[in-house]
Amino acid sequence: MLTAAAVCPHPPLLVPEVASGAAAELDAVRAACDAAVRRLAPADLLIVVGSGSATRDFGPGAAGSLRPYGVDLTLGQGEPVLPLSLTIGRWLIGDRPALFQGVAEDASPAACLRLGADLADLAPAVALLVMGDGSACRTAAAPGYLDPRAAGFDAAVAAALAGANRAALAGLAPGLAAELRAAGRAPWQVLAGAAGDAAYDAELLADTAPYGVGYLVASWTRRAL
C-alpha cells in the first residue's frame, strides 16, 4: 500500500558539486526536494522510481555515477549502473535504504500503471520517491528549443501533482510527452498506478523552469481512513 510519495526532478545540476558556481540557481528547487524527501514517513519499503532505457529493478545496492557530468562522485557500491534519474534519487535519500526501479521512457501508460500497482503491493507501507523532469521546451535556450505546448503540459502536470489527481497523471499522452522531452511522464504514471483509489493530501512545493526545463516538486501523504 502506498502511504507517501515525493516527486522530484533529476537534473545533475541539483548536486552542488556538479553545479559549481551555478549552484545557487537551483537552491529553491534543492530545498523543495529536501523537504519532500523529509516528508516521506517511515515505511516498510522505500522505492526510488525513475526513467531509463528499460524497465528493470536495480535492487538496493546499485550504484550510480556523476562522472559523465564532470564530478568524480559515485553513489553506492560496485560498478555504476543506475540511470541519471535514479542516481540523483540515490543522492537525495542519502543513507536511507531503498530499492531502485527503472521504468522505460517509452513504456505505455498501461504498463506504468501496472508497475505502480505491483510496487505498492510489495509491502504493507510503501513510500515512493518519483524522479522526473517536466518538458524541456519552455524557452528558446532549452534543450528542446521552444515549443508553445510545453508551458501548458507542465501546468497540467503541476495541477495533477498538487491535487493528487491520479486520473490526470494516468491520462498523460506518451507521444506529446516525448515530443516535449518530458522525462517524468512514465514515472508519474507509475505513481498514479501505485496510488490506486486512495485519497492523498498533496502539496506542490516547487514549479519552475530555470533552464527552460520544467522542474516540479510535490509531496503526497495518504489520508487516514
Query: How many whole angstroms from its chain centre is CA 84?
Result: 11
Nearest to 132 by CA among 44, 60, 33, 45: 33
Angle at 28 between CA 24 and CA 29, to 5 degrees: 105
Match 558556481 to its residue by C-alpha cell.
21
Instruction: Give the per-residue pLDDT at 178.
Output: 98
Cell numbers found for residue 213: 526545463
Instruction: Give the per-residue pLDDT at 23.
Output: 62
AA letter at 48: V
Give the dihedral sign, CA 115/117/121/124.
Answer: positive
Q: Give every residue of the chain whose pLDDT is below 50, as ranges.
A: none
Q: Which CATH superfamily is domain 2-222 in?
A: LigB-like (3.40.830.10)
Domain residue spans in the chain? 2-222
Instruction: Give the per-residue pLDDT at 22.
Output: 67
Answer whether 11's CB lies under 8 Å from 133's CB.
yes
Break the chain down into helix, strand, coil percent, rounded to 5.
40, 25, 40
Answer whether 213's CB lies under 8 Å from 142's CB.
yes
CA distance 166 to 95: 30
